[in-house]
Structures are given as structure tokens and as C-alpha cells.
Chain A
Amino acid sequence: VKRVLIANRGEIACRIIRTVRQENLGSVAVYHHEDRNAPHVAAADLAVEIEADVPTAAYLDQHQLLAVARRTGCDAIHPGYGFLSENAQFAERVEQEGLTFIGPDAAVVRLMGDKIRAREFAARHGVPIAPSVTQDAGQAPAFDEFVSHALRVGFPLLIKAAAGGGGKGMRIVRNSAELLESARVASSEAQRYFSDPRVYAERYVERPRHIEVQVLGDGKGNVLHLHERECSIQRRYQKIVEESPAPELPEQTREAICEAAVRLVAAARYRNAGTVEFMLAPDGQFYFLEMNTRLQVEHPVTEQVLGIDLVREQLRIARGEGLAWRQQDLEPRGHAIECRICAEEPEHGFRPATGKVGVLHVPTGEDVRFDGGIRAGQAVSPAFDSMLAKLVAWGDTRERAAATLGQALGDLVILGVPTNIDYLRRVIAHPAFLAGRLHTAFLTEHATDLLAPTPSERELAVAAVAAALTDPEFRRVAFEVPEMQAAMGGWRN
């Protein structure tokens, strides 16, 4: 591998380019016109425009990406996360072109991308899965069968799409009256989003924790786990705060979860960095959710506690150099917490916001890491995901990591587009968060506590004054010297 095409954008493209350059490899970025001023374009050695009417479609256009790779002499493609990162067909085509796909074998991508097959695979290798019922075809008769099986599993049930991810197509069903209709709706939504109508239902666990295990595999059955991450703080099924290690996790559970992940990944002869996701029920039982066959958004918390660069490990594995570590060398040091900085309005149901990054000021500090994909002056359009950046803090204890992160969030300035910065700061300062009492309904359960506090009169006055003083008319009246006095120059006191 000499030159890497980064088939992505935003913060993850910048993040990958950083390591690619450190490894003395060439980097080629791609961008849609709307991203022409984005930081990832400037960060790479070379940037090539790719075209599409809809900006996201450009980053999904396999044909153009491969053409750019050929034209620029790239011998490897890093897909990042999202976009084509879990597209088996793309992985296949990259390899057919004689290029290295920095990811797993297409067959493994396909296996893990089909949530029904992945669950069966996990169960076959002794990894616990929640009681469930699967559906193989979307026809009406199959629905009847699906429903009768689902009734036996019992309520509440969670219906998910076989090809799903990111919370799309998920439904919670609490009684039999809703079951058939919910299954139909979930199936049609799954068809719409993923062109695959198959759904499955599993026993829904109330207030579970989301625990996942970072793994590295060499493709020959050798696997390392890089310990767990806790990602229970979610809104709309999407994580917004992640950390490693998971707080308040019994050592026995921690070991069992990591061991299960390794077993699964070794059985799949997995090659690349990957993540095995579990849900941990309040009773201590854990269940396989899915495996993500790519770099994860929240990978930095693992990097910060282990002192490892996961992109470098991906490159090493892709070059066939195998695993550079022994399991016993991988002991986490301290604690790291990450917040996802999104352009959104938490006070309005987290609706995505658009605007322009008018002012950007990034906090610095030894224990603070900012993975960003924005620059001052950049427009935030609805075309892309609302995540702008990630802010990560490390501490020798969880408490100190949280305190440092709180400080850093206070110092982070993004003005011109609404963000969740202040909301995140309240989340990580919440007593239940600090006590490690985490579960996936945390934000709903503590919604009232997490509302913005009423500002003091003094705070309002300072903000009002600062704002009024940006008004040219107000400034003229306040500061302009009348002509006669101006003529007198410095005479006035």
C-alpha cells in the first residue's frame, strides 16, 4: 500500500488522512461540489471532485470512486464509516480492480450486514442472542407465521430490519394487537430504506446498556479485543456519548463479553478493525446485537485509553502484516469519554439544524482531543449527517475525564448553527451519569433535569449587551464622535 483513496468526508476523512500521512503514504480525498471548501479536501495530498445531483450520492458512487482511484494511482481504498463502508459489493469490486480494500473480506461484510444471518452465526458459535423470531420473506402468509412465532417469544418485542442499522425500521411492540401492523410497517420501511423487506423480532429488554467490544482480526483467525466501550447515552437510537472502559461493569461480565466477541470474530476469520455490539440487560445477561465491520465513530475513546492508532492497525492488517500486539499488552490506562457534536436543537426534539459555522474555536489541552471536519465559514447543509465533530477527553479516573470534557465543552465555540454542545455538557455533569447509572433510556428518563436552566438576569443582560453592540446603528449612536468634537481631536477627556 502506497497511496490511499479515502472514500468519505467530514471528520472521519480528516482523521484517516492524518494517519495515512503519518505512515508516509499518499492520500487522495474525494469531494462533492458542496464540500469543496471542507477540511478533508485541504488535508489530503490530492483531492478529486466527484459528481452527483444529491451530494451524498457522490460518496456512494462506486464507479466514480474506482475511476478516481485508478486515475490517481491509488492502490488502496479506506471507506471510513457510513457510506460504502459496509457495502459488500463495493469491497468485492475494489478487490476485483486489484486494489486493497481497507476492511474485511466481502463475504464477512455480507454475513454481518444481514442481521438475521449474523444472529444465527453468533448463536451457532455460542454467543448469546435474545429470544427472537425471524422472518425470511415479506409475503403476507409469512407474516401470519411470523406473528404466531412472535407471540410465543412474548412482549415487549423489538422489531428490526434484517438489513437495518442506525435505528431505521425499529419498532417496539408491547401487545399482540399492534404486532401484525407493526411488522408490516417495519417491513415496508425496511424495503424502502434497505431494499430488503425481511424483519425479525427479539425480546425487548427495558433499560438495557449498550456495551460493545473493539476487535482486531488478521483474517487468519487471530483476534485481539481492545476492551469494551459503553455507548448507552443515545437519542433516537443514536449514540451521543461514548466511553471506555464501561463504568460499574462487574469484572466477570466484562471478561465474558470480551470473550464472546473474540469467539465470534475468530469464527468469522475476520480481517480488519471491527466492533461487536451487545445489549446488557439489568439482570446481567448480555445478548449479541450486531457486528460493525468497519471503523466506528467512537473509536477514539479506545485509542485514548490504549495509546493505539486504530487506523494504523487497519493499514497494517490490510498490508498483510498481521497483528502488532499481544492481548496481554492491551491494558487500558485511565478513562476516556467522547461527545458527538451535532448541528441540532436538543430543546426541539434534537431536530437537525442548518446554518454556517461563523465562529469556530477549538479547545486545546494535553488530555483533550478534537476530531473535527469543519472550518470557520463553512456552511452546514441538510445534505449530510448532522455530526460536525467529536470531542474526547482522557483522565486517570472517569471523574477527571468527565471534568476535563465538561471544561472542554465549555471552551468549545461553534456559532452560526445551533449545536448540542451545552446539552452534552449538562449530560456529562448529571449526577446519574457521574454515578455510572447508564442505560439507553437515560436521556428520556432525565429529560427534565437536562433542560437548559433558566439564565440569571445578569447572564441575560450580558448576552443582550454583547448582541446589541453588534448592531451598527446602536454602535454609531453609542460610540461615534460628533463631527465638532472629532475636529477637536484629543482635546476631549
Chain B
Amino acid sequence: MIRKVNIGEQILPVELVGRRPALALRIGQGLLTVLEHSHVAADAPGFDGAFEVTVDGLTYRGWRYRMGREVHVRVGGRTFVVGLREAGSGLGAEEESQTELRAQMPGVVVGIHCQAGQAVAKGDPLLTVESMKLQATLVAAREAVIEKVHVEAESAFERGVVLVSFAATAGGAGGAVSAASGAGVAGAVSAATGAGVADTVSAASGAGVAVAGGVR
């Protein structure tokens, strides 16, 4: 049995190669002897998240919490977010071409600058949003046609929801850009993230990027 997990970009297949007297697990090149000392499932009474495992003779005490396919593991004073992948899947299974602009953080729509059916060019503003006291304009990362704007002005949205979806463009059947390339069709992030994929940010948020570290 192989259970693939990922930590960040790194995919780690955890292969169960032996059960007794201890678990024998192969991770990458290494073969590990693993003993687990206790386990309480997250939905069982008495769950406090604590775990203790001995890996090749060294015992690690930590904490873990599973939410769906994501496990937060805290060990050695550091938290790892570990993804549990579908059995046998690699990263490839999740590489879909992206035809949507999704919210990178929760916020409120301040302004809408596009409408369904409209053709937009790279850099055209799509929405102005506000998250955590900062305004940012989300812009098109490439040429596209707006299929639908999924939010209304002054409405709040949660992280991960679709804000704008795009129809296939003349230049690209099936449209758009792969998620692996970073930002997808709509390439802006808020000024707050400063992640470098934003093509432009609004004047309002621009200062926030350029001048970290003022005074208050």
C-alpha cells in the first residue's frame, strides 16, 4: 500500500512494506521502522491531537489534526501542512487548466470593472477587493472573455470562492493557463500578499507593497 502525501510542493510516497513487529515504511530512498504509541481519531471522544511515534528508534511527540485531505502536524516546534493525496495520484491529477479567478483571501468586493461577455486584455482590471484593510485591484493576467462575474458589489466572499469565470478564448481552446504556472488567467493578488504575481495593483494598495515598514 502506498499513501502519497505532499508537504508543500514535495510529493512523498509513504509505502507500507511490513507490518510486524513494527511498521516498515519506505519514504523515497529510506526505509523506516515506525512504532505508533497511541492514536485517537479526530472525531472520537478524548481526541486532543497528541501523538507519539518512534521512527528508527527516536521518539517524536507532537500534535496533529486532520481536516479532510489535509493534516496539520506539529512536531519539533514546527507545523507542517501535509496533504493526503488520492491513492495512486500524482500532482498531475490536479493539474487542470484554470478558467476562474478565485479569492486568495476572504474579503469584500469594492468595485466591479467587467461584465459577462466582455473581452479583456492582459492587465485589464476585473475587480477591486478589500481584504484586511487593504484594497487591491485584480487584473486579467492574459487575454480572455468574461463568462460570469460571480460576486456583487459590496458583497463579502470567503477564500477560495470563484469571483470571475472566463470563457474559452479564441487563442486557446479550453482556455486559459494551467494552475501550475502560478496565477492562472487572473493573475493579481492583493497588495498584502506581495507575492510577485500581481501584474498591477491599484494605486490604493500600491503603497502597501512599496513601503512596508512605515510608522503608525
How many interface residues does A have (CB within 8 Å)? 81
Q: How far is the CA of A165 from the CA of B107 in the complex (A)?
A: 20
Contact B211 A172 (CB under 8 A): yes
Contact of A466 among B62, B133, B156, B214 (CB under 8 A): B62
**Is the CB of A477 closer than 8 A to any CB of chain B?**
yes
Check: A5 CB closer than 8 A to any chain B CB: no
Interface string of B31-51 (1 = CB under 8 A from A): 010101001011000001111
Q: In this assembly, does A252 line the interface, its C-beta being within 8 Å of a C-beta of chain B?
A: no
Contact call B77/A410, Cβ cutoff below 8 A: yes
A468, B106: Cβ atoms closer than 8 Å: no
Determine if B216 and A234 form an interchain contact, defined as CB atoms under 8 angstroms apart. yes
A366 to B159, CA, bound (A): 39
Contact B87 A473, beta carbon cutoff 8 Å: yes
Closest to A170 in B: B214
Cα–Cα, bound, A475→B210 (Å): 50
Please provide the chain B residues from 131 to 157 with a CB less than 8 Å away from any CB of chain A in the complex: 131-135, 156
Of A62-70, A139-147, A435-443, the stretch lying at the interface with chain B is A435-443
Bound state CA distance, A463 and B214, in angstroms?
A: 38
Query: Which one, B64-72, B115-123, B172-180, is touching chain A?
Result: B64-72
Minimum distance in angstroms from B204 CB to a CB of chain A: 6
- Whether A168 contacts B212 in the complex (CB less than 8 A), given A416-B67, A459-B78, A466-B64, comes out as no
Chain A residues with CB under 8 A of B42: 358, 470
With A358-B49, A474-B16, A477-B1 given, is the CB distance from A166 to B133 under 8 Å?
yes
| Docked pose: A7 CA to B53 CA in angstroms | 46
Q: How far is the CB of B143 from chain A (nearest CB, A)?
A: 27
B78 → chain A closest CB, angstroms: 6
Chain A residues near B10 (CB-CB < 8 A): 460
Chain A hits for B216, CB < 8 A: 165-167, 170, 210, 234, 237-238, 277, 289
- B25 on the A face (CB < 8 A): yes
User: Which residues on B sit within 8 Å (CB–CB) of A234?
Assistant: 213, 216
Does any Cβ of B come within 8 Å of A259's Cβ? no
- Provided the pairs A165-B216, A463-B75 are in contact, do residues A470 and B66 lie with their beta carbons within 8 angstroms? yes
Q: Which residues of A contact B28 (CB under 8 A)?
A: 457
Interface size on B, residues (CB 8 A): 76
Query: Is the Cβ of B132 less than 8 Å from the Cβ of A465?
Result: no
Contact A350 B1 (CB under 8 A): no
A444 to B132, CA, bound (A): 19
* Residue contact A351 to B214, C-beta cutoff 8 Å: no
A185 within 8 A of B: yes
Residues in B whose Cβ lies below 8 Å from that of A256? none
User: Chain B: which residue is nearest A206 at the CB level?
Assistant: B213
**Chain A residue contacts of B76, Cβ below 8 A:** 459, 462
Residues on the B chain within 8 Å of A459, using CB: 75-76, 78, 80
Q: Is the CB of B213 within 8 A of A361?
A: no
| Chain B residues whose C-beta falls within 8 Å of the C-beta of A356 in the assembled complex | 67
Decide yes or no whether B171 CB sits under 8 A from chain A: no
Q: Assess whether B93 is interfacial by the CB under 8 Å rule.
A: no
Residues of B participating in the A interface, judged by any CB pair closer than 8 Å: 1, 3, 5, 7, 10, 12, 14, 16, 19, 23, 25, 27-28, 30, 32, 34, 36, 39, 41-42, 48-51, 53, 55, 60, 62-67, 71-82, 84, 87, 104-107, 131-135, 156, 158-159, 189-190, 192-195, 203-204, 207-208, 210-216
Which 6 interchain pairs have the tightest Cβ spacing? Answer: A441-B213, A410-B77, A382-B106, A349-B193, A359-B49, A467-B82
Q: List 23 A-B contacts (CB under 8 A).
A: A185-B204, A235-B212, A350-B192, A351-B105, A353-B105, A358-B49, A361-B63, A382-B107, A415-B63, A419-B79, A440-B214, A440-B215, A441-B212, A460-B10, A463-B7, A466-B53, A466-B60, A467-B82, A467-B84, A470-B42, A470-B84, A474-B14, A474-B16
> A residues touching B (Cβ–Cβ < 8 Å)?
158, 165-168, 170-172, 181-182, 185, 189, 204-205, 207-208, 210, 234-238, 277, 279, 289, 348-356, 358-359, 361, 376, 382, 386, 409-411, 413, 415-416, 418-419, 421-422, 425, 439-445, 455, 457-475, 477-479
